[in-house]
Amino acid sequence: LRPGDLEGQTVMVTAGPTREEIDPVRFISNHSSGRMGYAVARAARQRGARVILVSGPTGLAAPAGVERICVESARDMQAAVMEHVAGCAVVVKTAAVADYRPAERQGGKIKKQAAEMTLALVKNPDILAELGRLKKRPFLVGFAAETSRLEEYAARKLAEKNLDMIVANDVSLGDAGFNVDTNRALFLFRDGSRQECPLMSKDELANRILDQIAARLPAQRPR
């Protein structure tokens, strides 16, 4: 496995944060840099896959040969993912999708008011859970960034979102997760198996993730 082992497969990767606009000058977002997802997209392309990268706002250049679709909000990401998922053998959902968005986007800049103000938020669609409910489900890989009870929460997400694999990161560690070039992870699988990945570069971790996917895909045939 590795050189060319994803030839003939289409892999969708989502990456980066989403931005949820409050008014024309403000938004809610998070610390995701997009580096892990871009590493997965680059590695999948190097291994021969056709790669569709649905990316939230990042400062990163699109990896060579990757088809990038740039989006802003969770709902933009949902639309792009659902439009392109047919024909994908694999979806790797690295993106740190904002869980909530402002209930209303104000058309004009909100003016300073009293000492306290309240912003009403509503829940965003869970794109990965929606993919998990598809009749023709691609091989689905989710990410779980946690600061406690890593394995328990990740196992619950794997089951609840109907995933094939989940990559769990402890983001309370300084050398893993957001905005660094290294990561350590725990892989959990639908069949109950698990694998620990020690600290390594995000490029190498991307290849370890793809090793697991490639080994579990029916050869050359989209599911």
> What residues form the annotated binding site?
99, 109, 125-128, 143, 157, 161
Query: 21 to each of 17, 57, 108, 207, 210, how far by Cα in Å?
Result: 13, 13, 12, 34, 34
Q: Least distance (Å) from ligand C5P to the CB of residue 125?
A: 6
Q: Which is nearer to ligand C5P, 142 or 177 (CB)?
A: 142
Binding residues for CTP: 99, 109, 125-128, 143, 157, 161
For residue 129 the two structure tokens come to 């859970």
* Contact in structure between 92 and 73 (CB atoms under 8 Å): no
**Shortest distance, CB of residue 27 to ligand C5P, whole angstroms?**
16
Choose between 48 and 153: whose C-beta lies nearer to ligand C5P: 153
In this complex, which beta carbon is closest to ligand C5P, that of residue 144 or of residue 214? 144
CB of 209 to ligand C5P, least distance (A): 12
Q: Is 169 a catalytic residue?
A: no
When the beta carbons of 150 and 214 are compared against ligand C5P, the nearer one is 150
Strand-strand pairing, 50-55 and 10-15 = parallel
- Please say whether the beta carbons of 140 and 164 come within 8 A: yes
Q: How far is the CB of 143 from ligand C5P (least distance, A)?
A: 4
> In 134-179, where does DSSP find H-type helix?
150-160
Contacting residues toward ligand C5P, per CB under 6 A: 74, 93, 95, 97, 99, 124-128, 142-144, 157
What residues does 28 pair with on adjacent strands? 20
43: helix, strand or coil:
helix
* Ramachandran angles phi, psi of 43, nearest 5°: -65, -40
Active site residues: 30
